[in-house]
Amino acid sequence: MKKFSSLLIVLLLMLASFTAGLEFPRGDVDQDGRVTVGDVTCLIDYLLNGTWGDEPVPPPDEHEWVDLGLPSGTLWATCNVGADNPEDYGGYFAWGETDTEDYYDWDTYKWCDGTMYSITKYCIHSEYGTVDNKTELDPEDDAAYVNWGPSWRIPTTEQQQELVNNCTWTWTTRNNVKGQLVTGPNGNTIFLPAAGYRCFWSLNDAGTRGYYWLRSIYPSYSDGAYLLYFTSAYADSDYYRRCNGQTIRPVRVP
């Protein structure tokens, strides 16, 4: 009985902490307006099964970021999506897809019906497919958001340009991996490996160029999307066909 009482006290304290500061009554975990045994059941399900109602609970955000001292305050991740270390290439994603593939071309691309002229989402030109006038990725199609959680996004073109214009870019080698060391105005750095890109079954330009997706389609051609592109000599924005597999360096949502 003593152990049961102690467990009950712990559960009640957790119920209160889960709802502190919310508009619902303290302890109303399932937010039905009442504090009942259902709130205890909801909490136990979360502790044992990692689910909240019918939805899985997202994993804790354990990804690191760096404040480079940029004017906008944008925080850049230290690693690519799918990487464990800054030097790792990480995963290669077609634009608007959230899983990696073995083969990259239009016939396997999620947002078309087999060709570059049958695009089904993110299209502003009728000659490329069904026009929806969407130009930026929805969160559910953002590989940073889906794989890392709601605190992360694929960068915008403005964030990419700010990184290029306000930082010093130095071609270097870290742990036998070539890439750009990006030094911010405050002296902090991130390392972007020259991971190349994937097309069909092949990995191309690894060790010589970096291709990092941005979150907007290219306004002149709906089959293309913007990317951060760099070589050993320079860095700038460019665009490439959306079905190619490229790396992603996320930014953190303020």
Q: What is the 3-state secondary structure (H, E, C) of 124-176?
A: CCHHHECCCCCCECCHHHCHHHHHHCCCEECCCHHHHHHHHHHCEEEEEEECC
- Answer for the pair 245, 94: CB distance below 8 angstroms, yes or no: yes
One domain for residues 241 and 127: yes
The strand pairing partners of 204, in sequence order, are: 197
Domain count, the chain: 2
One domain for residues 37 and 126: no
One domain for residues 96 and 49: no
pLDDT-based confidence at residue 36 (cuts at 50, 70, 90): confident
> Nearest CA to 66 among 212, 237, 182?
182
Say whether pLDDT at 229 is over 60.
yes
pTM: 0.78
Say whether pLDDT at 133 is over 90.
yes
One domain for residues 197 and 177: yes
Look up the domain containing 195 and give its range: 65-252
pLDDT recorded at residue 63: 94
**How do residues 71-105 score in pLDDT, each as one tens digit?**
999 999 999 999 999 999 999 999 999 999 999 99
CB burial class (10 A; 0-12, 13-18, 19+) of residue 162? middle
One domain for residues 22 and 124: no
Total number of residues shown for the chain: 254
One domain for residues 44 and 133: no
Q: Which residues contact 163 (CB under 8 A, 6 or more apart)?
A: 68, 70, 74, 76, 155, 182, 228
Alpha carbon distance 113, 119 (integer Å): 7
Higher pLDDT, 116 or 48: 116
pLDDT-based confidence at residue 9 (cuts at 50, 70, 90): low
Q: What is the mean pLDDT of the chain?
A: 87
Query: Encoding tokens for residue 36?
Result: 């009942």
Q: Which residues contact 136 (CB under 8 A, 6 or more apart)?
A: 156, 215, 216, 217
pLDDT recorded at residue 226: 98
One domain for residues 84 and 27: no
pLDDT-based confidence at residue 46 (cuts at 50, 70, 90): low
